[in-house]
Amino acid sequence: MQDGDIKFASKASRFNSSHYDFVSDVWHIIFGENFHAGYFKQPGESFSVATNNLTEAMAALGRFSKESKVLDVGCGIGGPAIFLHEKFGCHVHGITISEKGTQIANESARQKGYSSHLKFTVADATDNKLPDESFDIVWGMESFHLMDDKARVFAECYRVLKRGGQLLLCDNMAGNHRLSDAEAVAHYKELRLLERVFGKTRTETLAGYESAARAAGFKDIVSRDINEQTMPPTIKYFRNKVKSQYQELVDLSSKQYINDFLGMCDTWEHFNRLGVMSYGLLRGTKPAA
């Protein structure tokens, strides 16, 4: 993608656009079709089952039908959109800032014969240019933490939803232990490491997401902390997977990136234990009238 093809709403979006182009192939091996955490219901479950469990847990909060028009905000390489279409028969329009992500996703949809129901385009979710009141469901799966202006992304989700429509999201969130300035300085290296692995992020607590959703106009907010079922087992999986396919992953990206990825596993575990990082699910509804 050429600079100028899309007007990014922020510097973070511009940075993350090339970051997600860069990680697409290597994450495809590490994560599979779904660029999100696993939701482990029982010990020993495989990561691919666990990532689909998370999609199911989020979908269970929504009202889907064959006619539903779904906007997938931050669609990765299309795994969740394909899953939703296979389960409900719905239409999904996925948007992402990664051109590479849209190419992989459109090709997967084409190979499965789903192109009449699924499409993936490049757009910044904080200024998505889509028409008002055109979707029944907005789906934000592990993408909001990559957008620094939470008010804008919630406002955009609200604007494009039809009245009575639902916003469903899950995300890496800040835990209840906020790093003090002194702690942030002490953990500077680890914070930079997370940025090299995931891109520029701004995490928010579950309570912060609830109030941002309410401020945008959403009602009937339902939220759940699902940290324990997601983060510790996902990190354990990441570490084993990356160690077992180390050289292949280095060849697809770089030694620096894969070593950073392994370092991230330790940092994430540490921050998760401290209560700095967490994981949550949320649903909000745009009032019918």
**Given the rule CB under 6 A, which residues bind ligand SAH?**
13, 16, 20, 34-36, 74-76, 79-80, 95-98, 101, 124-126, 141-143, 146-147
What does 24-58 look like in DSSP terms, one character per residue? HHHHHHHH-S--S----SSTT--HHHHHHHHHHHH
Q: Which is nearer to ligand SAH, 20 or 39 (CB)?
A: 20
Q: Which is nearer to ligand SAH, 62 or 101 (CB)?
A: 101
Q: CA–CA separation, 267 vs 249, rounded Å?
A: 20
CB of 21 to ligand SAH, least distance (A): 8
CB of 98 to ligand SAH, least distance (A): 4
User: What tokens appear for 30 in the block?
Assistant: 């590490």
Q: Which is nearer to ligand SAH, 142 or 210 (CB)?
A: 142
CB of 64 to ligand SAH, least distance (A): 16
Q: Which is nearer to ligand SAH, 33 or 187 (CB)?
A: 33
What does 122-154 look like in DSSP terms, one character per residue? E--TTS--PPTT-EEEEEEES-GGG-S-HHHHH
CB of 181 to ligand SAH, least distance (A): 27
Q: Which is nearer to ligand SAH, 83 or 271 (CB)?
A: 83
Is the backbone of residue 89 left (phi > 0), alpha (psi -120 to 50) or beta?
left
Question: Which residues are paired to 174 by β-bridges?
Answer: 277
CB of 34 to ligand SAH, least distance (A): 4
